[in-house]
Amino acid sequence: MNNLPSAPLIAAEEVRSNFIKSFILVGIIIALVIAASYYIGYMLDDVKTGLLIGGVISIIVIPLQIMTAKWMILSMTSGRAANVNDIRERRALHIVEGLAVSAGLKRTPDLYIIPTHIPNAFASGMDENSAFIGVTEGLLEMMDDQELEGVIAHEVGHIIHRDIMLNQLVVGLISVLLILALIIERLGIIGAYTGGNRRSRDRDNGGGGAAVAVLLLVALLVRPLVMLIGTLLQLGISRKREFAADAVAVRLCSYNEGLARALEKLGGKEYSSDDIKELGGENMACMYINFPGGELFSTHPPIAERVRRLRNMY
């Protein structure tokens, strides 16, 4: 077994690598949407109609998801604007301002305080003009200056990469995929009662038995499979974006230990149902810098792996 340490990671290379992987996963989701639309067309004996249905649903659902994201996030977390007269909150505001300058942002992101003792943070906004950062009261209490700077730099990394836009695009695509899966399910049930579509009946020489069996199988399995595949792809994208934001934090701070120590403090604690509710619910999981969960269905890479990469990065 090779016990030699791995080669040091260059932050810019880590960002580029994870950015490419994220878009490959997004491409897979888009391909699944097209495939589901094509299959609807096949079931209707008109591929063009199926693709049109997929296109119309995408045009409606995805922009709606993106436009309402900011309002939904703020309402779920009950965030309030940071108070400059509070010493801890003023410290965070100064850190946000300094990192915004270092990152070359045209505008300093607004800072919101989430009223919970649970230490955590997130970034939101479709672009620099609408970007804001949320930190919990618990985070301000727990972190020293270097650790807090590392956490906020991580969130600035999400803003630089427009990860919120990417995340909402992915959520929208998965919503489209689930709607298409529901249509396939309904068409499958209808087809089972009517003996399948014309192509299936012709292929079955009028019997329709095999067509009915296939349609019933599709109807029963399509939505659970789509939900599982969509969830795994979304989680995969979320994990890649976390690695990339960690790398940006190193680049902005010129220091990797602050964020590494902060992540160690955030790790090792499972959230109760009350904790999750205070943070805005499970739908907010992929937004936060850390959100404990099972390894397979976790929105974030393991803390130990993130810390290992950070301490081996410059």
Of the candidates 13, 18, 9, 12, the residue with the CA atom closest to the CA atom of residue 239: 18
Do residues 123 and 163 make contact, with C-beta atoms less than 8 angstroms apart? Answer: yes
SS percent in the chain: helix, strand, coil, step 5: 70, 5, 25
Cα distance between residue 303 and residue 66, in whole Å: 29
Tokens of 278: 């205070």
Residue with tokens 């977390």, as numbered in its chain: 77
Choose the catalytic residue: 14, 89, 147, 155.
Answer: 155
C-alpha to C-alpha distance for 13 and 136, rounded to whole angstroms = 31
Show the tokens assigned to 181.
């899966």
**In Å, how far are 18, 50, 76, 105 from 175, measured between CA atoms?**
24, 17, 19, 32
Tell me, yes or no, if 155 is annotated catalytic: yes
Q: Using CA atoms, how far apart are residues 21 and 149, in angstroms rounded to an integer?
A: 27
How far is 170 from 66, CA to CA, in rounded Å? Answer: 10
CB atoms inside a 10 Å sphere around CB 110: 17
Phi first, then psi: give them for residue 242, nearest 5 degrees. Answer: -65, -45
According to DSSP, the residues that pair with 111 across neighbouring strands are 133
Alpha helices in 195-208 (DSSP H): 198-203
CB 25 within 8 A of CB 232: no
Contacts of 185 (CB under 8 A, 6+ apart): 218, 219, 222, 223
Give the whole-angstrom CA distance, residue 169 versus residue 84: 34
Active site residues: 155
